[in-house]
Amino acid sequence: MYAAEAAAFEGTDLESVRPFDAIAAAVESVVADGWWSGPPVQLEPARRDASSSSARQAGHGPTVIRLAGGQVTLATAAHELAHALAGPDAGHSPTFLAAYLDVVAVITNLDSSDRRGQLHVQQLRESFAAAGLLVGERTWPAPPDSTGSAIAL
C-alpha cells in the first residue's frame, strides 16, 4: 500500500510539506463537508521525535490524527482521514482504500481556483491496481462531484 501511495503522489504537490495551519484548514473543510459521515476529527502535531503520522480513535470519541513534522502534507492528511472514515479496525483493507480514494477526491478539489478533478484519484486508483490491491465498496455517501462549488483554502 505504501509503495502504491508513493508511486501515485511522489513528486506532486500533495507531498509538499506545508504549514500545519494550512493542512488543518484542509482537514477541517473535508470533515465539515456534508458528505463526511466519519467521526469528528482532532488534528494535532505529533511529538517532535515522531517519525510517522497516525490516526487513533478511542471508543466513540473523535479520531485523533497526529502529523509528524516531515509529513505535514495533503497526501498524509488524506491517508489519515481515510483511516477515520473507514473506521478504526479497517487497517489498510479494501474499505480503507475506497475511503482513501474518496478523501483524495475531496481534499484535492477544495480550492476552487486549483481543482484537480479526478487526476490524483486516478493516479492512486491505478497505483492500487498495479500493486494488486483491491478497492472495496464504500459504506458512506459518495463525495460531491469535484466540479461543483467548494471552499477555497
Which three three-digit cell numbers place residue 24? 488543518
Instruction: Please report, for the chain, the start and end positions of each structural domain, with discontinuous segments joined by +.
Output: 2-130
pTM: 0.91
Residue 148: partners with Cβ closer than 8 Å, 6 or more residues away: none
pLDDT tens per residue across span 23-34: 999 999 999 989
pLDDT tens per residue across span 18-60: 999 999 999 999 999 899 999 999 999 999 999 999 999 878 8
Alpha helix stretches (DSSP H) within the chain: 2-9, 20-32, 74-86, 94-107, 119-130
